[in-house]
Structure 1
């Protein structure tokens, strides 16, 4: 996933401004003082304007004659943009954001599994098998486990051979990556291989109902892992 912070001063300016908007430090309708921001960040006006163009493209700011550059309401933000999603998850999201992600996945992924069972080629199944093998090999390595899980869900969407469903990759991957890092970082979920293998078995047998049913069960397990983690965190705070 592309991170603007890796792109030097320009990228860092984008990240800082985005976080100020997300936290409400720069509230809806706030007028940005470009001169003050330029001095604070110690950047050229060109760099600052380029950063604002990035945020404007994501619906977070706009500029009007006589009004200047201002923060747009959340309803105007490109909430499905990969960076906007990542910025939200980076703010230690509450359960609401994970609930929204789970609802989205519950709508998209069982249907995707069903389509994959009907349409998957030998290459698609090989990609899913490779992701399963990587998942099994990851063991207790959280970074490898997250990467393998993302590979699996990417391969699943690709196996639908539906370009619009494949474009959901950015939403599912961004949220899934943050959820996986959180869960694996807290000791890990239960062994993920059996639930993912059940989905692949349905696809391999070209059985749409079996694949969709297995995916729904996998998603139920995923939300249970998040609930378990939240419960553990509450108990730790009470100790």
Structure 2
């Protein structure tokens, strides 16, 4: 992707974020996919517009979208959640985002996360650093007694697993938060607002962009793309180096 194309894609995502705000303010058509799992016509609109741009500018790449599924390609693949945190978005909360990642040869190469209501535009390229509104992000290890982690709950895992994980975290002297948009919580790990993120199972369109942001800010993540993670999803554990290791010992495999 050229610098000009990169700028054009970022501008499109900013524009579509504003369009999603306008659509919400005008009144949304909302359909239910499953229990507490919704899709609005804004989700469908944003995905359609980004997919069209990518097909026009990167025709040899594939595409994987939460709403439209997989389109095979010859080179890399773009992975999109048009609105992560749809319930928050529908309810008028500010904690939602557009999340886009580019994967090639089993490596996450590019990440964009945009939270329109918060005016937060995150961008990362592999080996080039992570940025929030053009300011470089650099993680620092927290005091072990002040650790706060994000913990997502997957509908594809038993709720009892989630409550047991919360108990282990609290008993280990850490705090946790859950805000209902995993992609944005991963991005906020890269800013240091929370120190790691854990979820027993995430889909790739929710996880990949935020995981690259964390790594490029100086953190670490598990190998999400192993074992078919791109299409099947996987566990997510990413954050500051020491915190991630502490959580891995506490939560993974239990």
Q: Structure 2 length normalisation: TM-score?
A: 0.26
Q: Which has the higher contact order (CA 8 A, sep 6+)?
A: 1
Greater helix percent: which structure?
1
Q: Structure 1 length normalisation: TM-score?
A: 0.27
Greater strand percent: which structure?
2
Greater C-alpha Rg: 1
